């Protein structure tokens, strides 16, 4: 079997209804074909001379990654798609001259790698999880997003056992409010990603204050390039830490895992380097008793399928991020749409990934921008009067109020 071509499918995806992200300030979508927000989904298909087609998804910076895929395609034409590791290595060294593998390179390789696993599973007549060592579990537990009491109670009523909130505007009071609303039986996580990111000193102070709420994790409390800061937080408080969604490959996640700076590693299913790398990252994490909870909040449904297969086959799978009340168009993008029952999804059993996209539906939503300032001034993430500065890191002001409920 030989690869004959690679096709890409870029679409502008709508925002989740009523802004269900685990952070504040994102725009809501509108009806019709004009969608607000800047979320894009990039799918690809690899064709072969035996008529087997594999599907994959890329995240990170989809409009730019589409160009990277077209650049990599000539390296793959004529190759046997079942030699997945060999092709991954070939792509990696081809990009070496451009520098380290980051969001764009990792995203392009992810979609291609995902499609290769899909092809191999279809060729052998088995689901991808079977190729990864077989099932550890039949169902994958999920968590959803909530930032208000109303949203949290809705998550609880849907049978989901964990929620994640976010934002740095007033995190301590938000966690206190949500814990009071849902009780002790639900797990709560908080995502503290910027902008603006917290300073390590402020993160240490806040995480200590969050200890009594028994959070399942505190996610991205400081900027991702400040790995040393995680050690400061680890020494300051006894709360599980989570990070890793912005890094690609085992090399990008290595320090977080090997130095045990986190308790939960969160590789992004669409930009970590593919199923090949996700499996390796999970194995590295297992050796350090670190759990895996793939980042999936902004991804499309093909990457979600890939995460289901991975999590079915690894022992240290903790929970899958899922905005289960996402944009209504999501269910029309893919066939079949995953069936959620309460707080879990059944592992797919069809050969390969077990899904396909509706190409005609995807074509109805052409890409219309893919960068944004991710928070609005009204959400209060920035100190008053500083929103226009667009700071990457900012120290918390009004400290007595901020660090006390």
Active site residues: 193, 295
Closest by CA position to 323, among listed 157, 149, 160, 176: 160
262 is written with which tokens? 């986190």
Residue 283 in contact with residue 257, Cβ under 8 Å?
A: no
Three-state secondary-structure class, residue 54:
strand
Spatial separation of the C-alpha atoms in residues 129 and 313, rounded to whole Å: 6
118 is written with which tokens? 């899909």
* Burial letters 33-46, b for 16+ CB under 10 A, else e: eebebbbbbbbbbb
Residue 307 in contact with residue 355, Cβ under 8 Å?
A: no
205 is written with which tokens? 């102070």
Spatial separation of the C-alpha atoms in residues 260 and 24, rounded to whole Å: 30
Closest by CA position to 128, among listed 77, 86, 82, 78: 82
Residue 265 in contact with residue 281, Cβ under 8 Å?
A: yes
**Whole-number CA gyration radius for the chain:** 21
145 is written with which tokens? 């997003």
Spatial separation of the C-alpha atoms in residues 236 and 238, rounded to whole Å: 7
Beta-bridge mates of residue 189 = 164, 217
Tell me whether residue 405 is exposed, middle or buried, using C-beta atoms within 10 angstroms of its C-beta: 0 to 12, 13 to 18, 19 or more: exposed
Return the residue matching tokens 């849902």. 182
Spatial separation of the C-alpha atoms in residues 205 and 203, rounded to whole Å: 5
Q: Which helix (H) or strand (E) holds 171?
A: helix 171-182
Helix spans in 187-346 (H): 200-210, 227-236, 249-258, 275-287, 301-313, 330-333
The CA distances from residue 240 to 207, 211, 320, 405, in Å, are 10, 10, 17, 21
């Amino acid at each position: 079997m030989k690869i004959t071509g690679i096709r890409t499918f870029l679409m502008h995806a709508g925002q989740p209804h009523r802004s269900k992200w685990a952070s504040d300030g994102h725009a809501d979508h509108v009806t019709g074909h004009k969608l607000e927000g800047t979320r894009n989904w990039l799918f690809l298909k690899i064709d072969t001379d035996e008529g087997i087609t594999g599907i994959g998804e890329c995240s990170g910076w989809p409009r730019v990654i589409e160009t990277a895929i077209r650049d990599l395609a000539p390296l793959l034409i004529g190759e046997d798609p079942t030699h997945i590791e060999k092709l991954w290595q070939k792509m990696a060294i081809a990009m070496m001259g451009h520098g380290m593998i980051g969001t764009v390179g990792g995203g392009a390789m992810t979609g291609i790698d995902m499609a290769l696993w899909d092809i191999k599973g279809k060729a052998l007549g088995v689901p991808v999880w079977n190729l990864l060592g077989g099932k550890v579990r039949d169902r994958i537990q999920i968590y959803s997003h909530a930032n208000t009491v109303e949203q949290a109670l809705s998550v609880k009523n849907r049978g989901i056992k964990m929620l994640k909130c976010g934002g740095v505007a007033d995190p301590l009071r938000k966690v206190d409010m949500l814990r009071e609303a849902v009780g002790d039986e639900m797990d709560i996580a908080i995502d503290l990603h910027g902008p603006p990111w917290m300073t390590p000193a402020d993160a240490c102070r806040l995480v200590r204050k969050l200890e009594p709420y028994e959070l399942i994790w505190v996610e991205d409390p400081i900027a991702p390039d400040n790995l040393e800061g995680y050690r400061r937080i680890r020494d300051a408080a006894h709360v599980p830490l989570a990070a890793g969604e912005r890094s690609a490959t085992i090399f990008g996640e290595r320090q977080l895992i090997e130095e045990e700076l986190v308790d939960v590693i969160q590789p992004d299913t669409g930009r970590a380097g593919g199923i090949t790398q996700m499996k390796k990252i999970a194995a590295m994490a297992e050796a350090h008793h670190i759990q895996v909870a793939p980042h999936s909040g902004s991804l499309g449904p093909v990457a979600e399928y890939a995460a289901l297969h991975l999590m079915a086959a690894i022992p240290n799978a903790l929970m899958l991020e899922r905005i289960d009340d996402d944009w209504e168009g999501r269910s029309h993008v893919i066939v079949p749409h995953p069936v959620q029952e309460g707080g879990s999804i059944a592992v797919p059993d069809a050969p390969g990934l077990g899904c396909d996209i509706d190409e005609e539906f995807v074509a109805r939503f052409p890409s219309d921008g893919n960068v944004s300032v991710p928070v609005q001034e009204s959400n209060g993430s920035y100190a008053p009067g500083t929103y226009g500065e667009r700071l990457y890191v900012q120290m918390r002001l009004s400290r007595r109020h901020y660090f006390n409920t």
